[in-house]
């Protein structure tokens, strides 16, 4: 079953100016990960330090594999250095009965 994951980010003030380039580099690997079906990055108009990353995955298992890979030395990124607080991950399933 397909899954959509959102990652809510609050950047440090000093990270906002370079956030687009930094996130682009990090998300290249996410887009290339098997099972990723697309990513959107949304920036809060009222607060450019507030970003929502929307990831579309072919299955929960593919998303789980990606999260596990990010916890390895090979998958680690510098995202934590940009953040003012811990990111919030939420996963959604698509209803098909409406």
Instruction: List, in sequence order, every residue forming a beta bridge with 67; answer none if it has no partner.
Output: none
Answer whether residue 96 shows pLDDT above 80.
no
Rounded Cα distance between 2 and 82, Å, is 29
CA-CA-CA-CA torsion sign (53, 54, 57, 59): positive
- 3-93 is classed in which CATH architecture? 2-Layer Sandwich (3.30)
Answer whether residue 97 shows pLDDT above 80.
no
In the prediction, which pLDDT does 36 show?
Answer: 98
Domain boundaries, the chain: 3-93
Q: For residue range 22-79, list pLDDT tens digits in order.
A: 999 999 999 999 999 999 999 999 999 999 999 999 999 999 999 999 999 999 999 9
In the prediction, which pLDDT does 98 show?
Answer: 67
């Amino acid at each position: 079953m397909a899954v959509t994951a959102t990652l809510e980010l609050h950047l440090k003030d000093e990270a906002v100016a370079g956030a687009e380039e930094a996130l682009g580099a990090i998300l290249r690997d996410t887009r290339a990960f098997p099972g990723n079906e697309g990513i959107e990055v949304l920036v809060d108009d009222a607060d450019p330090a507030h970003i929502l990353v929307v990831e579309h995955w072919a299955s929960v298992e593919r998303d789980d594999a990606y999260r596990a890979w990010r916890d390895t030395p090979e998958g680690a990124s510098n995202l934590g250095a940009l953040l003012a607080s811990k990111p919030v991950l939420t996963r959604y399933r698509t209803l098909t009965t409406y």
